Every structure is written in C-alpha cells, then in structure tokens.
Amino acid sequence: MPLEQLPLSLKPGTIQNDVAALLAESEKRCDAFFDAGLDRRYPRYLPSNPENVFFAICALQESGLLRGNVFCEWGSGFGIATCIASLLGFDAIGIELELGLVELSTQLADDLEIPAEFLCTSYLPEGYEEVDGIGGKDLLPPQATTSGGAKIDITPIYDGLDPDEVDLFFVYPWPGQEEFMMDLFDAVASEDAILLIHHADRSTTAYRRSEDE
C-alpha cells in the first residue's frame, strides 16, 4: 500500500503536569546513564527530544486522523515516548531488544505509576530480515510459499502484540534508516495506521498507510 505523508503542525505550549514530571525524572536518569558510561554497553541507544515527541503526538490527536489509541514504539530505549503516549491516553507498548534497557524503562514506568508495557524483542517480526542494500538497509520479508509452492502464514506478530492492531507507530531511527522503517511500517501495519518519525534534526514527519490504489 502507498504511504501518505500527513500534514503535521506542532504547536509548542504548556506540557501537562504528569508529562512534565516524567520528562524531569527521565532526564535525571538519562544523565546518570551516560555519566556511568552505560552508553558504551548500549551504543545504539540515543534519546530523542521528548518535548517534540509530546507535541507531535498531541498534534496527531487534535488532527482527528488517528483511528484508535494503540501505540507502539520501535526501539523504545528508556521508554520515554511510550510513557508519554500512555499519559496521553494510549494503550502504549514499547519494543526494545536490549534487556537492560527494557528493565530501565519498566522501572521508570513503575516508579511513576505509568501503565506502559515493554516487550524485550526485535521490532522485526519473525521471518523479516534487515539486509545491506544500495545506499542503506533493505527490508527482506519472509517467503510466502515453500520451495514446493505451498503457502506459508507470514502474518507479522510480536510476542503479545499484533501489529495489525497498532494505530500509531513511533520510531527515532538512526540517520539514513528512515526509508527502512517506512518499508517496515508498510509491510506490517494495517490500513489507516500512522507512523510518526522523529528525526535527528528534531523535526517530525507522519505517514498513513493508505488503501491500495
């Protein structure tokens, strides 16, 4: 299905108290994380700009474009975006491969009594692969048939989460990985789901998975 880029106008303003408390606490814990040198253990963890993420999610809520309130963060790290989404009323789930980061994000949510869930798994569903391509990474989906031509069920699934049920995906990709994440979204999301991408320059873009032309 084609991806439709959505207009997204961020209107910075007052941040609600519970989100402000989350941002203050997460900043302290992130500072302690880097001061302890744990970024060397988890070199792929890089925090986004949480204020911009908050305003972007709010903008999507106000736009009326969201079909529902199930949120999934790919590569959730400290879980800040997932917790923000939960405080904004979403059923929020973060997906993170590193167990240590899952434990940190779960502790943050528990300490602040935020009902967010974190799955220790890859954002690539079983059978999907990330391969080197020309100019970046390519998504290799699973084969739909065996060598003998028999059909194989390749419905994407995470442990405890059906991506078909997710209404809003969020990701903060490494530079140059944006197209790959859009391909993954196109492969696993259902019609009218939305992908919110936070970029290294602190801008955000949003895409909707539209009906086949």
pLDDT tens digits for 53-70? 999 999 999 999 999 999
Where would I find the H helices in 64-145?
Answer: 80-87, 99-111
pLDDT tens digits for 10-55? 888 889 999 999 999 999 998 898 888 876 777 566 677 899 999 9
Please check whether residue 198 is in contact with residue 84, taking contact to mean a CB–CB distance below 8 angstroms.
no
- pLDDT tops 50 at residue 213: no
Residue 173 CB neighbours (<10 A): 19
Map out the domains of the chain as residue ranges.
Answer: 3-10+17-209
Query: Tokens at residue 131, please?
Result: 């391969």
Q: Domain 3-10+17-209: which topology?
A: Rossmann fold (3.40.50)
**What is the per-residue pLDDT for 44?**
62
pLDDT tens digits for 160-209? 789 999 999 999 998 888 999 999 999 899 999 999 999 988 889 999 99
What residues contact residue 42 under an 8 Å CB cut-off, 6+ apart?
Answer: 98, 100, 101
Residue 54 belongs to what H/E stretch? helix 50-63
Burial 105-126 (b: 16+ CB within 10 A, else e): bbebbeebebebbbbbbbbbbe
Most confidently modeled of 44-58, 129-143, 144-158, 177-191? Answer: 177-191
